Chains A and B, each alone.
Chain A
Amino acid sequence: MPVDVWLYFILGFMIIGSIASLEIKNILSSIITIGVVGLGLSLAFLFLGAPDLALVQFVFEILCVIILIRAFAKRSIEVRALRRDVPETIIAIVILASIFVLSIFAFKDLPSFGKPIVRVAERYLAQAGVETGSQNIVTSVILNYRIYDTLGEVTVLFTAILGTFTILRKTGRKKRHAE
């Protein structure tokens, strides 16, 4: 089968998984269904020939599911069924349909599958080994040509971890002084 067919299959699977995770009432089953979406994305990367991204997505998805299960599964979280009114539903459907129609016009201008319009990729493919000495071209891009992006990424992660520590630490500084 060509790649396109596999992609349609995986994307449909992911959409079904996300709808199921919204509708399931049990929080543990819901978290596991979110994991299905991420693993489907990892498979899609694998079919598109990007093993680096597939690896990162795979391990990150496992870590996310473990964190979500440990953080939420044992808590008693109330699940309330939403009562939907008729006018709200109609407004939501109209807005979604209009966005869908507009996005069809927008997606017509995108380049076709497998034909990128960014020309710089050709230079990377031809010159990366000579210029950076790295056999893996993805690494040569993220750690040499586009290293400022990686620096930003590291900073984002650092800030996220700092925020987690700040919010979830056990005793605040003022309280420790009082004791």
Chain B
Amino acid sequence: MQNNFPNEGMSVIVKTITRFTVWLIFLYGLYIVLHGHLSPGGGFAGGVIIALSYVHLTLAYGKNFVLARVDKFAMNSLESIAAILFVLTGIVGLYVVGNFLANFMGIGKLYTLISAGYIPMLNIFICVKVGMGLYLVFYYLASFKPQEG
């Protein structure tokens, strides 16, 4: 990856180590989300871990490095779209089964990755929402500068 902001962030040691650790953290978050119905974890925990991988990158390389790759507007939109999709899933359940947020997909075979109906799908929505939202909260709180006087 080409770094256009070499003077921001922490030292070379931290940046080098970050290159090895940040994708491990991201993959662990994805694993927690996708196996949320099989092992401990779920959308909330996985989303926070994914947000932490972005925070890790921001702390090591500076905020401009991350913002050059990920648009802030896209993050905002992803977060809102995930919330809307969550509610839309509920409305689909209302039409198909008769209850709001009812499980309208087949339960499938127990102990397999694709099972439990809509639970993995909702986990992914919650993950996107929590991950993007918490990273944006971190970004806004960390880059906020109170006015003097």
The residues of A with any CB-CB pair to B shorter than 8 Å are: 51-52, 55-56, 59-60, 62-63, 66-67, 70-71, 75, 129, 131-136, 138-140, 142-144, 147-148, 150-151, 154-155, 157-158, 160-161, 164-165, 168-169
The residues of B with any CB-CB pair to A shorter than 8 Å are: 32, 36-42, 44-45, 48-49, 51-52, 55, 59, 76, 79, 83, 86-87, 90, 101, 103, 107-111, 115-117, 119, 122-123, 126, 129-130, 133-134, 136-138, 140-142, 144, 146
Residues of A within 8 A of B123 (CB): 139, 143
Question: How many angstroms between the C-alpha atoms of A64 and B108 in the bound complex?
Answer: 38
Q: Are B40 and A161 neighbours in the complex by a CB distance under 8 Å?
A: no
Instruction: Give chain A nearest CB distance to B56 CB in angstroms.
Output: 9
Q: Are B45 and A52 neighbours in the complex by a CB distance under 8 Å?
A: yes
Q: Are A63 and B101 neighbours in the complex by a CB distance under 8 Å?
A: no
Question: How many angstroms between the C-alpha atoms of A139 and B59 in the bound complex?
Answer: 32
Residues of A within 8 A of B110 (CB): 129, 133, 135
> Looking across the interface, which residue of chain A has its beta carbon closest to that of B133?
A161
Question: How many angstroms between the C-alpha atoms of A167 and B133 in the bound complex?
Answer: 15
- Other-chain residue from B51, B101, B111 in contact with A151 (beta carbon distance below 8 A): B101
Q: Are A154 and B119 neighbours in the complex by a CB distance under 8 Å?
A: no
Q: Are B55 and A55 neighbours in the complex by a CB distance under 8 Å?
A: no
Q: Are A66 and B103 neighbours in the complex by a CB distance under 8 Å?
A: no
Query: At the interface, is chain B mostly helix, strand, loop or mixed?
Result: helix
Q: Are B38 and A136 neighbours in the complex by a CB distance under 8 Å?
A: yes
Instruction: Give chain A nearest CB distance to B102 CB in angstroms.
Output: 9
> Looking across the interface, which residue of chain A has its beta carbon closest to that of B130?
A157
Question: How many angstroms between the C-alpha atoms of A138 and B123 in the bound complex?
Answer: 13
Question: How many angstroms between the C-alpha atoms of A134 and B109 in the bound complex?
Answer: 9
Residues of B within 8 A of A138 (CB): 40, 42
- Other-chain residue from A139, A150, A164 in contact with B137 (beta carbon distance below 8 A): A164
- Other-chain residue from A63, A132, A151 in contact with B134 (beta carbon distance below 8 A): A63
A-B contact pairs, 24 of them (CB 8 A): A52-B40, A52-B45, A55-B40, A55-B41, A56-B45, A63-B51, A63-B138, A66-B52, A66-B55, A67-B138, A67-B141, A133-B110, A133-B117, A135-B116, A136-B41, A139-B36, A139-B37, A139-B123, A144-B103, A151-B87, A151-B101, A161-B133, A164-B141, A169-B140
Instruction: Give chain A nearest CB distance to B18 CB in angstroms.
Output: 14
Q: Are A144 and B52 neighbours in the complex by a CB distance under 8 Å?
A: no
Which of A63, A132, A161 has the largest count of B CB atoms less than 10 A from its CB? A161
**Given A75-B146, A168-B140, are A158 and B48 also a contact pair (CB < 8 Å)?**
no
